[in-house]
Amino acid sequence: MTAPQAIYARRFAENQAYRARVWHVLARRIFQPFVPDNGAILDLGCGYGELINNIRAGKRYAIDLNPDARAKLAAGIEFLEQSSADPWPLPAESLDAVLTSNFFEHLPSKQALQETLAHAARALRPGGVLVALGPNIRFLAGAYWDFVDHHVPLSDRSLAEALELAGLSVRRIVPRFLPYTMADAPGKSPRRAPAFLVELYLRLPLAWPLFGKQFLIVAEKRASA
């Protein structure tokens, strides 16, 4: 068993049904509005496919190092089993959106992050977007390092700078968005919010600054990139 396989199995194997219910809400409410009808999308660090399995699109791709991901993906999704820092086998300007959740902090270095963002910028069409959720180290401090595969410390500000350096224009930043234990963020909270409460939380932005410890960032490819 590879390291990604072992980590995924330890953290997520026992709560897949619950995660599927929550991700049905998160995908529809957060990510789907950025996907055009019949658009082409890629899920970056797809894990067990909770995000991309719940997104409607004309063409769907998913990247992950974990070979177990292939069996978790819905029919019609093309799986790319590789490092995101290696060149993507996709034509330039072929994607309308790159979607990712709780992934960038798992990359081995900031160099790998920069290479990943460069591949995303190349693959996106002008006007295409990268939508990212992730734990915000500004609000987590030591808890960020409670997981062995967290390597790259990122805040909303540092990721925004990296996106700009890759040729993407940041359109929206929400520094405090989701709670840390919601979506893909690791954590074994004994209290799991029912899916309807997740939906309610997303409809109450006044609550985000109180509970949010994950950022939401939306960046767009410039025509000259």
Quote the CA–CA distance of 108 and 86 in Å, as a whole number: 13
Quote the CA–CA distance of 203 and 9 in Å, as a whole number: 32
Determine how β-strand 214-221 pairs with β-strand 168-174: antiparallel
Per-residue pLDDT, 5: 63
Per-residue pLDDT, 65: 94
Quote the CA–CA distance of 41 and 49 in Å, as a whole number: 13
End-to-end Cα separation, the chain, in angstroms: 40
Burial 29-67 (b: 16+ CB within 10 A, else e): ebbeebbeeebbbbbbbbbbbbbbbbbebeebbbbbebe
Residue pointed to by tokens 């060149």: 87
Please state whether the predicted TM-score (pTM) of the whole model is above 0.75: yes
DSSP 207: G
**Span 38-90, pLDDT tens digits:** 999 999 999 999 999 999 999 999 999 999 999 999 999 999 999 999 999 99
How large is the angle between the packed helices 16-26 and 195-202, nearest 10 degrees? 30
Secondary structure of residue 44 in the 3-state scheme: strand
Residues of the chain with pLDDT under 70: 1-15, 182-192, 224-225
Q: Domains (ranges, CATH) in the chain? A: 3-221 (3.40.50.150)
CA angle 154, 171, 166 (to 5 degrees): 55
